[in-house]
Amino acid sequence: MKNKVLVIGSGGREHALAWRLSLSSSVAQVFVAPGNPGCAQEKNVENIAIASDDYDQLIAFAKDNAINLVVVGPEQPLCDGLVDLMTQEGIKCFGPSAKAAQLEGSKVYSKNFLKKYNIPTASYASFTEIDSAINYLTQQNFPIVIKADGLAAGKGVVIAETEEQGIKTIKDMLAGNAFGEAGHRIVIEEFLVGEEASFIVVVDGKNFVPMATSQDHKARDNGDKGPNTGGMGAYSPAPCVTKKVFDKTIEEIIKPTIEGMINEGAPFIGFLYAGLMIDKNNNPKVLEFNVRFGDPETQPIMMRLQSNLDEICLRAIGQNLENFDLSWNKKSSLGVVLAEKGYPGNYAKGSLINGLDFVEKDVKIFHAGTQREGETVVTNGGRVLCVCALADTLKQAQQLAYLGVEKLDWQSKYYRSDIGFKAIEL
Ligand code: AMP
Ligand code: GLY
């Protein structure tokens, strides 16, 4: 019998996961709660009008519709314990328990964990009191990194260039006005230099399978300048993750993390995403953990995945990933995010999007912040679309993706024109 799958979330990541699941030979039907207009256009994919934080309704839907697999996209439901709730109800739900999700949900938890298990990361200290945080800060070198403890949608990290900026950030966070609950504890950590990469593996509690390598561009503007965002574009593979870096990451980061979580009584099941900083000597350090797939890394990675995604997730839930290999398209993939001007600050909504009927072989338009309005689709979020292309080389994938980017249009469309520049020799 083929699987009925429920994907939770509404972004570009969830569109890409739902699309890839729908192509699996062992999937009959994919539902997405709440999904977006892009998901609804895929064959065998249906949006369900249940919010991603309406846990009772999600559980009821999964039961009523004999769902065989639930895949949770965003971090919030994972940190809230949706996997625990679904598992108690006998529903197969892929992702970490609330306890294991603390790897992302609390920067203090994850830094203490990294230190305890001797996993390479920036040196740090954590604080709840303004005075002791400032006292520590004044004895450090600049720039320095200040992070709110809790989930802050990518906005809880400030790189302070000066003591003055650092003190202001500490006060903003710990006084509780700028970041709410998430900022009542902070981490102050050493500023690392090098090249960032996203290292994502699927874990079954004990065994793991690596996803294809990837990199994203977190800064909003060309040349990796401007404010930090959720991600303005991504590509796979990531040339900076050489065999040597890959092997080191597995031995020094992934294996000790999985073993550490077993030791903590919180075995990790799900997508484990280590955000890495790779220094000039090819040594990777953990910048952060995410306990879910990356957005927009998912989009180019799903363009390349050939194995059945539902099988991977079900094997992980069944603790059966040992000796399991994934199959990848050898081609390269690159995705460019189209955003609303102003993102990640204030931005407009409701602009009519033209060009969505653009069709080209090996180009895929993933929706994120879009909404259907009658016969049309309008903008409804900061990151609106992600145009992905698949080609023999990253350079060709870049050219093909930008061909799509230029066909799409709305008032106040904004995008970076240099996605992939670090990986492509110009
Ligand atoms: P995080 O959410 O912890 O990954 O931080 C968001 C972004 O801030 C990262 O992708 C890096 O670009 C930057 N960042 C975080 N921590 C550090 C660090 N210790 N040194 C340098 N950059 C950092
Ligand atoms: N692209 C970074 C993230 O998903 O957190």
Alpha carbon of 147 to ligand 1 centroid (Å): 9
pLDDT value at residue 228: 86
Which residue ranges of the chain lie beneath pLDDT 70?
154, 176-183, 425-426
Helix (H, G, I), strand (E, B) or coil at 23: coil
Determine contact, residues 373/381, Cβ cutoff 8 Å. Answer: no
Nearest CA to ligand 1 atom 9: 287
Which pair of structure tokens corresponds to residue 137?
């800060």
Nearest CA to ligand 2 atom 3: 294
- Model confidence pLDDT, tens digit, residues 224-234: 999 889 999 99
Helix (H, G, I), strand (E, B) or coil at 379: strand
pLDDT value at residue 179: 67
Alpha carbon of 284 to ligand 1 centroid (Å): 13
Shortest CA distance to 272 belongs to which of 223, 208, 358, 325?
A: 208
Determine contact, residues 382/347, Cβ cutoff 8 Å. Answer: yes
Alpha carbon of 293 to ligand 2 centroid (Å): 8
pLDDT value at residue 182: 63
- Determine if ligand 1 sits within 6 Å of the CB of residue 187: no
- Determine if ligand 1 sits within 6 Å of the CB of residue 276: no
Which pair of structure tokens corresponds to residue 147?
């992070």
| Entry pTM | 0.96
pLDDT value at residue 178: 66
Which pair of structure tokens corresponds to residue 178?
């700028």
pLDDT value at residue 135: 95
pLDDT value at residue 251: 98
- Bridge partner list, 188: 125, 146
Using alpha carbons only, what angle is made at residue 56 by residues 50 and 60, rounded to the nearest 5 degrees? 80
- Determine if ligand 1 sits within 6 Å of the CB of residue 287: yes
Q: Are strands 27-34 and 3-9 parallel, antiparallel or unpaired?
A: parallel
Alpha carbon of 304 to ligand 1 centroid (Å): 27
> Which helix (DSSP H) or strand (DSSP E) does residue 261 occupy?
helix 255-263
- Determine if ligand 1 sits within 6 Å of the CB of residue 371: no
Please provide the average confidence, as pLDDT, over all residues in the chain. Answer: 95
Determine contact, residues 139/131, Cβ cutoff 8 Å. Answer: no
- Determine if ligand 1 sits within 6 Å of the CB of residue 146: no
DSSP 351: P
Nearest CA to ligand 2 atom 5: 294
Q: Which residues contact 180 (CB under 8 A, 6 or more apart)?
A: none
